[in-house]
């Protein structure tokens, strides 16, 4: 019987240079995107961005509104990815309950929450016609 994937010994491969480094980095990013997609919060945030896009279409907002909304949606997902990384690492180094692990996870969650508040505030301001 084989060991679970998390217990399979792995070797560290030295990074390749030149264009292959860029190709490898793109592959790592795609793996990260696949991992992020496994998070319910990330899927809900993408759904929220889609709802914002539909509302913007309905309202006929200015092109710069689209630009800022796209940047904010990207930032929300980036912070969500960092939060997920913090949670994964915290679970790895501190599988038992600890106040420091809880603080790390809570602070990551706060960062995502603050980004969502900023995005929601921008959305509400645009939709009410204040911007």
Instruction: Identify whether 62 is a catalytic site residue.
Output: no
CB neighbour class for 15 (10 Å; exposed up to 12, middle 13-18, buried from 19): exposed
Q: Give the C-alpha separation, 104 to 94, whole Å.
A: 11
Q: Torsion angle, CA of 74/81/86/44, rounded to 10 degrees?
A: 100
CB neighbour class for 23 (10 Å; exposed up to 12, middle 13-18, buried from 19): exposed
Catalytic, out of 5, 39, 45, 80: 80
Q: Active-site residues: which are they?
A: 80
């Amino acid at each position: 019987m084989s060991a679970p994937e998390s217990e399979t010994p792995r070797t560290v491969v030295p990074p390749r240079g030149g264009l292959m480094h860029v190709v490898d980095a793109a592959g790592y990013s795609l793996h990260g995107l696949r991992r992020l997609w496994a998070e319910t919060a990330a899927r809900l945030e993408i759904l929220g961005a889609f709802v914002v896009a539909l509302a913007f279409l309905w309202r006929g907002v200015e092109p710069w509104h689209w630009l800022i909304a796209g940047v904010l949606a990207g930032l929300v997902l980036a912070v969500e990815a960092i939060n997920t990384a913090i949670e994964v690492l915290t679970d790895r180094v501190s599988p038992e309950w600890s106040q420091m692990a809880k603080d790390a996870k809570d602070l990551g969650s706060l960062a995502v929450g603050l980004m969502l508040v900023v995005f929601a505030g921008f959305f509400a301001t645009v939709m009410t016609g204040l911007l």
